Structure 1
Amino acid sequence: MPAYPGDGSDAIAAALGVLPSGTPVSEVARRLMDLFTSGSIEPGTRLPPERQLASTLGVGRSAVREALAALEILGIVDVRPGSGTYLRGTASELLPQTLRWGLLIGPRKTGELLELRAGLEIYVARLAAGRGEASALAEIDASLARMRDTVDDLGAFARADLDFHNALAAAAGNGQLIDLLHVVRSLLQVYADRAVQDEAEARTAIEEHDAVNRAVRAGDEDAAASAMAVHMATAAARLSADA
């Protein structure tokens, strides 16, 4: 297992650089995060000890300790008492965590998150129409069928609705888009849980999902994107009104 120091101390020091005096813990964590998501450190790498990181960054050990503790909570590093601190995943695995952290520490503006989700879902629909394979399209069909079967059970309906969007994302074949959607949906979950409040709204949602599905199956990218845009506008209006 690769470890610092011994085979990378100079490289990690050069990558981190010295921070200004009085730098807050949040900035120390950001600097470390930038390094961890750069792809230059292998998963499972043991990081330099706190005192070395503090010396490299020009900050106190307590700031490094608190920054690493925060990153451990986020699942970025694994702090093992008596052994050291280890990087948990690859850059691609850590980037969704980075986005989640950035969104959580920034202003929670529901309207902006709804716009972000709409843009991602519309692009996913376009990609799915151009790339969807038979197995992925079958999953979309199955999810839509479950939506039709559960209009009288809104909890089950919501799960089938989510399955539809997840299947559509899988059909798009872009792992990064799936990660981004997962982050945004998790931040909107309190609203998504009550996105459909009665059978009439559920039936409207089914019609909109069906339009997306038909366009995807026809391989019509423009129609799929347009149908998803209609659905996202309806959903956003409903969620904003209920917020």
Structure 2
Amino acid sequence: MTASMSLNHVEAVGLQSRMFGTSIRRYNWVEDKSEANRLYNSSLTTTLASLITCTAACSNAIDCTAATYNNSTKECNCINNTTSFTSQLGNMLWRRKFDGFIFDAQLGWYIRLFVNTSHTHAEAESVCGNHGARLAVLDTSDKLSYVTGLPDYRPDIFCYVGAMDEQSDGLFTWSTGTSVTNWMLDEPNGLHLDEDCVAIFNNYLIDLPCSHSNNFVCEIEYK
């Protein structure tokens, strides 16, 4: 395995065989400064190492989704969630990314926002599927807020998500079968014929035609 580092970014190559079949994947580790100075109660391994060695080792840990590293003590912890923690001065959290997807432990998913390409809803579903993913199911306010809080998100651009009214006209459900909430005011409105798909716009959900080409967001559930 190999690794390289810049100030807030670490790249590591390792073997991953849990979710995606045994394959070599290139992981990018991104520092999450919002969760500094925490020791998480979900450590898979604890070692003393350099940051590069730490992230390279955690890339190969089957259940590892993030890592903490303390520049002072050199303590490395490969962790599988960030839901329970105590205070630990100097610890920094590094989240693992691959193929543009970044993991969030609280929401239990890998997420990727596609902003430099536009596709119809069916094409977007296919792109997500090629990554072993699906169009994102934003069935809670926390999930919607997470996506609209991503650095690449633009509120003035339509972004497809994984909901339609294909079963019953006007009754929108996520691909998981749950009902869609968090609509923009006066949505869904069926303003144009066949507005059977759903997109984020101005931080809320709207209905729109599936044939339009838009940005989109994919998710992979962590199991």
Q: Same fold (TM over 0.5)?
A: no
TM-score relative to the length of structure 2: 0.32
Q: Which has the larger strand fraction? A: 2
Larger Rg: 1
